[in-house]
Amino acid sequence: MNNGLIKNYTAGGAIAPCRIVKPHTADGQVVQAAAAADLLMGVSVELVAPASGERCDIVKSGVANIEFGGTVTRGGPVTSDASGKAVAAAPVAGSNVRIIGFAEISAVSGDIAPVLIAPGLMQG
Q: What is the pLDDT of residue 43?
A: 97
Q: What is the pLDDT of residue 41?
A: 96
Q: What is the pLDDT of residue 4?
A: 86
Q: Are residues 11 and 55 in the same domain?
A: yes
Q: What is the pLDDT of residue 1?
A: 57
88 domain residue, yes or no: yes
Number of domains in the chain: 2
Q: Are residues 67 and 109 in the same domain?
A: yes
Distinct helix (H) and strand (E) counts, the chain? 0, 10
pTM metric for this prediction: 0.95
Q: Are residues 116 and 71 in the same domain?
A: yes
Q: Are residues 68 and 119 in the same domain?
A: yes
C-alpha 43: how far from chain center: 5
| Residue 71 backbone phi and psi in degrees, to 5 | -85, 130
> Taking the chain (124 residues) in consecutive chunks of 10 residues, what is each chunk's mean pLDDT?
86 97 97 97 94 96 97 98 97 94 98 97 92
> Are the beta carbons of 50 and 11 closer than 8 angstroms?
yes
Contacts of 75 (CB under 8 A, 6+ apart): 102, 103
39 domain residue, yes or no: yes
Out of 45, 61, 77, pick the residue that ends a domain: 61
What residues make up the domain containing 88?
63-123
